[in-house]
Amino acid sequence: MTEGPMMITSVLVANRGEIACRVFRTCRELGIRTVAVHSDADENALHARVADAAVRLPGVTPAETYLRGDLIVKAAMDAGADAVHPGYGFLSENAGFARAVLDAGMVWIGPPPAAIEAMASKTRAKQLMGIEPLGDGEVAEADLPVLVKAAAGGGGRGMRIVRRLADLDAELTAARAEAASAFGDGEVFVEPYVEGGRHVEVQILADTHGTVWALGTRDCSLQRRHQKVIEEAPAPGLPPALLDELHDMAVRAARAVSYVGAGTVEFLVADHPATGPKAHFLEMNTRLQVEHPVTEAVFGIDLVAEQVRVAEGHALEKEPPRARGHAVEARLYAEDPGRDWAPQTGRLHRLAVPGVRLDTGYTDGDHIGVHYDPMIAKVVVHAPTRAEALRRLAGALERAAVHGPVTNRDLLVRSLRHEEFTAGRMDTGFYDRHLPALTAPHADPHAPLAAALADAHAHAHDHARPRSRFGGWRNVPSQPQVKRYAMAGEEHEVHYRHTRQGLTADGVRVVHADARLVVLEVDGVRRKYEVARYGTKVYVNATELTALPRFPEPTDRQEPGSLLAPMPGTVVRVADGLAEGARVEAGQPLLWLEAMKMEHRISAPAAGTLTVLHAVPGQQVEVGTLLAVVQEEIS
């Protein structure tokens, strides 16, 4: 009697955060038990809380925890898991880890180790596709610009654009350090950088019976630091002949390594005056991609469920399902795009984006820490047409409640409505061209008044607060109440009055005011303002404000030329030979901070003398920590 496909009963996800939660969701639907692993920093993280079982990995850095394949295999065995799903990032493209899982007698929910080995190194993958990358010493002035890229892993880590030959050695060093920290492999390579190209990829799914599906295209051109921000399926505006070529190349890459499971083949599509759009092979990611939900939405399938079925030995249908409609995904990050994308940390008080698919590793009250990627959630919509999908996603994000650290939410809304993006004319240089306009301060001018009125109502009805013997109003019409708020980098002073008729404000009719909802009428137009407060932070609809004291307290003055830590993180490097008393040039790199798996360079603000150097490698710093002081040279 022929045995049928095996049945997986318990899955350990060798990952954290959003992707672990997303895999667990499908496992629960399939009736499969779930096991999480967590670092000490993630002890109370959502993925550790929602799994049926969780195993601690001692330490906080990826190198101590999520990159320790031996500890993860032991965790799976101890918890009784019979399969391991790697998610994306960390060890997902590590052939040695895949072999260790298989050698331990468990099912690997991913491609064969040999296929990972062939494609996980981007240099070997290019050679397999007949492309030879440049060697470190082979780059000439004529080759510029070039891209330095990590051979292992992805997500933009270990990647640098080099436009001057003099910068190559420094960028190679930085890329190697970042790649080693993120992936445990410091190998990098150099390839030509194509200006003005679109990042287009093809989702593939293959079984053990020889069937390979090419599940359409995705466009992931909107990127910051080579990491995707907005993705969509299908890629808009590609001619049919190019689509056929992309699908054929993706299937050919999969068959070349006897691929099994879900994977993605990535291309750069650039316009050539003589030949039109042309596809350049970039790499094959031998894992599930962050942006897989848009393909799921368009094809009506669950890729994680298909991964499990393929790992169990089930055969795919000969032809994939038909694509329907258009899907768009936006990555909501805890970062400040207007300050060089600086990652942010702190408590996420509230996260609510109604009416959309929300893939996240956080719930209300969770803490966003410094150790891992700053992505809070993926927001996904599906609609009959691209225009409808863009409109739905922009509207959902605009109305979302995101209370906590600074995020890129406003940038996402503006990007989705930008005429270049809505027309499908975007490329990977989109944010290089448009970032200043997309991050220009903008806030509702009546938000401070709404905050003040809600606060006044809350205080008037707070029985725990000391009450005036004169009640909540003052019979002194010439003396209004005053509150001050910081909003969009500026201070705003609000005047309002308590009267027998209720709260009033000059030029504005107060229709309604309570602690959570304020309705104002200005020039005959009535608008609602939902208000939430957490300490001094106030959120009025999508606008964040900070309540300021009535009489500002004096603050410490920083010495001119002070370099303060722009984010919490770890000092990973100080420039060779740098010491107090050294002369530095404007823009000269002085030290590097690592935060949320990315390196951030701190440079001299002006030419002068380094008079103070507090930073030392390995030092943990908080926002505002004094790192160094450069005394400017006065000419």
Active site residues: 287
Q: Tell me if 408 sits within 8 A of 229, measured CB to CB.
A: yes
Beta carbons within 8 Å of 294's beta carbon, 6+ residues apart: 218, 231, 232, 233, 327, 328, 329, 380
CA dihedral (145, 149, 151, 156) in degrees, to 10, reads -150
Q: How are beta strands 198-206 and 10-13 bridged, if at all? A: unpaired
Q: Rounded to the nearest 10 degrees, what angle do helices 95-103 and 113-120 cross at?
A: 170
Nearest Cα to 207, choosing from 131, 313, 279, 93? 313
Q: Tell me if 198 sits within 8 A of 279, measured CB to CB.
A: no
Helix H segments across 284-406?
Answer: 292-299, 303-312, 386-399
Other Cβ atoms closer than 10 A to 311: 23
d(CA 58, CA 28): 27
Nearest Cα to 269, choosing from 251, 244, 246, 289? 246
The half-sphere exposure of 180 on its side-chain side, counting CA atoms within 13 A, is: 9
Considering only the C-alpha atoms of the chain, give the largest distance between any 2 of them, rounded to a whole number of Å: 95
> Read out DSSP for 299-328?
HT--HHHHHHHHHHTPPPPSSPPPP-SEEE
Helix H segments across 54-207?
Answer: 69-79, 95-103, 113-120, 122-128, 168-183
Cα 374 from chain centroid? 5
Q: Tell me if 90 sits within 8 A of 236, measured CB to CB.
A: no
Nearest Cα to 21, choosing from 56, 39, 45? 45
Beta carbons within 8 Å of 417's beta carbon, 6+ residues apart: 390, 394
